[in-house]
Structure 1
């Protein structure tokens, strides 16, 4: 099964999906920017939460002023 079809990802898989490092991913989780779930003793990131994070980034991005 590929990671794009899975409902939840490991920290490392989620970081790879975003093209960032593990340390940055842990910081985003600690800051509450990316939500996680706990399954037993395992911390996982729902794929939908990655999409939510990216959508929030898009919503908060200022448009580029071509005159600037």
Structure 2
């Protein structure tokens, strides 16, 4: 049984999904609020990490 590879987003993809700027995305990554990986120097963020980040923020706001 094979599992599907997680969808990996670029920083501009994350910027668009969260409606924030590049600096904010990198700040979230730097402070470990948003998980990411590097592939040959290119930063990628799993789509699940963005979803989890949004869900945690919604839970905090409730």
- Give the TM-score taking structure 2 as reference length: 0.80
Provide the alpha-carbon RMSD of the alignment. Answer: 1.5
Q: Over alpha carbons, which structure has the higher Rg?
A: 1
Structure 1 partner of 2:45: 45
In structure 2, runs of 5+ residues without a counterpart are 1-5
Secondary structure of the 1:60 match is helix
More helix by proportion, 1 or 2? 2
How far apart are the structure 2 equivalents of 1:43 and 1:21?
Answer: 15
User: How many pairs align?
Assistant: 57
- Counterparts of 1:1-68 in structure 2 under 5 Å? 7-61=7-61, 63=62
**Greater length-normalized contact order (CA 8 Å, ≥ 6 residues apart):** 2
